[in-house]
């Protein structure tokens, strides 16, 4: 009886060791997309008044968690019964990410003055601020959904061939770590200035390390946010381009001499502006009809 119990514990320990190893491999495979996810979500979670930053981030984080609850069972079912459907979903998601990236570049180049209104703008009414906030949260959750699909599919790809129980555990671990890790770091980024202000207030000396560090954090936040806006846009196009290059055979073998990062960015940019052109054309057509 006792020997059987200890044998069961050995089996559980062996399974957990396998899960730990596979989770480590899956984490390495998804590291790039997690970095892109961080850059994109940090950019989307910025631009709010200080008192609304954490509530907005919490709303986006909850949306991200719900996204993964929806995606996980569907991914396992499609992986088992219709692998081609996963590729189709990834490509459609890639088109949306490419469109978002291209739209940001287009807005910056041609409608820069119209797109600079922040949610902290004092000329806006409370209702307008809330509507802008809801719109930005919705946009962030939609983008997170597509990035979450990519993260889960990549993680799933590392455990294909393993028993279903191990697939579920490993991919679920990656999904949870992705959500907590990404939004935890984003929260730290958007609260840099508040942390800096606290350090300045705690310092009793004019010249001290604490006060200097606080000043650096306060002054660095606007630069970090601007940088993340650029990095987030590049990340959108890189992720989209990566989806197209890895899942469309023609693009996979096209221009093999190009470095992967340049190829993926270029492909994402081209597809993004094509989709943007189609969307703008449809807006004009339906706008005229109305």
pLDDT exceeds 80 at position 70: yes
Q: What is the mean pLDDT of residues 187-205?
A: 78
pLDDT exceeds 50 at position 12: no
pLDDT exceeds 50 at position 14: no
Q: What is the pLDDT of residues 233-253, one digit of tens each?
A: 888 888 888 889 888 888 888
Exposed/middle/buried for residue 285 (C-beta within 10 Å: 0-12, 13-18, 19+): exposed
- Average pLDDT over all residues of the chain: 76
Greater confidence (228 vs 220) lies with 220
Greater confidence (197 vs 12) lies with 197
Going by pLDDT thresholds of 50, 70 and 90, the confidence category of residue 116 is very low
pLDDT exceeds 80 at position 120: no
Per-residue pLDDT at 277: 92
User: Token pair of 205, please?
Assistant: 């000396």
User: With contact defined as beta carbons under 8 Å apart, do 19 and 169 qualify?
Assistant: yes
Residue in the structure block whose two tokens are 């509530």: 55
Counting residues of the chain whose pLDDT is more than 70, the rounded percentage is 74
Cβ neighbours of residue 57 closer than 8 Å, sequence gap 6 or more: 45, 183, 186, 187, 190
Name, of 106-115, 162-171, 238-247, the range with top average pLDDT: 238-247
Per-residue burial over 128-165, b if 16 or more Cβ lie within 10 Å, else e, is ebeebbeebbeebbebbbbbbbbbbbbbbebbeeeeee
Per-residue pLDDT at 121: 53
Domain ranges of the chain: 2-191+224-243+259-289
Cβ neighbours of residue 89 closer than 8 Å, sequence gap 6 or more: 78, 149
Q: What is the pLDDT of residues 175-184, one digit of tens each?
A: 888 888 888 8
Going by pLDDT thresholds of 50, 70 and 90, the confidence category of residue 220 is confident
Residues in the chain: 290
Exposed/middle/buried for residue 239 (C-beta within 10 Å: 0-12, 13-18, 19+): buried
Per-residue pLDDT at 268: 92
pTM here is: 0.68
């Amino acid at each position: 009886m006792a020997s059987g119990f200890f044998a069961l514990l050995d089996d559980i320990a062996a399974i957990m060791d396998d899960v730990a190893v596979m989770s480590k491999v899956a984490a390495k495979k998804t590291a790039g997309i997690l970095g892109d996810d961080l850059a994109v979500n940090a950019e989307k979670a910025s631009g709010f008044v200080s008192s609304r930053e954490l509530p907005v981030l919490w709303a986006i984080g909850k949306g991200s968690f719900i996204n993964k609850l929806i995606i996980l069972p569907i991914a396992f079912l499609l992986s088992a019964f219709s692998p081609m459907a996963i590729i189709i979903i990834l490509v459609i998601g890639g088109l949306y990410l490419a469109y978002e990236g291209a739209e940001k570049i287009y807005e910056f180049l041609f409608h820069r003055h119209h797109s600079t209104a922040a949610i902290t703008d004092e000329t806006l009414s409370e209702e307008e601020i809330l509507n802008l906030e809801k719109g930005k949260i919705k946009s962030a959750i939609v983008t997170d959904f597509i990035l979450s699909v990519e993260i889960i599919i990549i993680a799933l790809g590392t455990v294909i061939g393993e028993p279903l129980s191990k697939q579920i555990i490993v991919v679920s671990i990656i999904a949870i770590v992705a959500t907590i890790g990404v939004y935890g770091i984003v929260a730290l980024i958007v609260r840099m200035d508040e942390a800096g202000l606290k350090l300045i207030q705690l310092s009793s000396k004019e010249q001290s390390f604490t006060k200097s560090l606080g000043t650096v954090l306060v002054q660095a936040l606007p630069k970090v946010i601007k940088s993340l806006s650029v990095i987030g846009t590049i990340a959108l196009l890189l992720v989209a381009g990566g989806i197209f290059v890895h899942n469309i055979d023609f693009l996979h073998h096209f221009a093999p001499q190009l470095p992967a990062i340049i190829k993926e960015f270029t492909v994402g940019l081209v597809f993004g502006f094509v989709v943007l052109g189609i969307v703008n054309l449809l807006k004009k057509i339906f706008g005229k009809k109305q």
